[in-house]
Amino acid sequence: MSLATKELVLRSHFELKTKILKWFPRHMNRGMREMMQTLRKVDCLVEVHDSRIP
């Protein structure tokens, strides 16, 4: 199948794990909590995948 004919599939919801891993440093845990709170207020989220990122 070529890329031009591939069907676009959009997510109807975005699942976030509510249980934060125990090994996260505090600043990462805080950032994840803040991101989850912010995403609850968002109507649309654009997820971009770039193959150039190592």
H helix runs in the chain, sequence order: 26-39
Q: How many CA atoms lie within 13 A of 50 on its CB side?
A: 5
- Token pair, residue 36, equals 């989850």
Which residue, among 4, 8, 14, 50, has the nearest Cα to 35 in the 3D structure?
14
Whether this prediction's pTM lies above 0.95 is answered by: no
1-54 residue pLDDT tens: 455 667 878 877 767 666 655 666 778 778 888 988 998 898 888 888 877 866
Cα–Cα dist 39/16, whole Å: 9
Q: Please enumerate in sequence order all residues whose Cβ is within 8 A of that of 39, keeping only pairs 6 or more positions apart, or say none.
A: 14, 16, 45
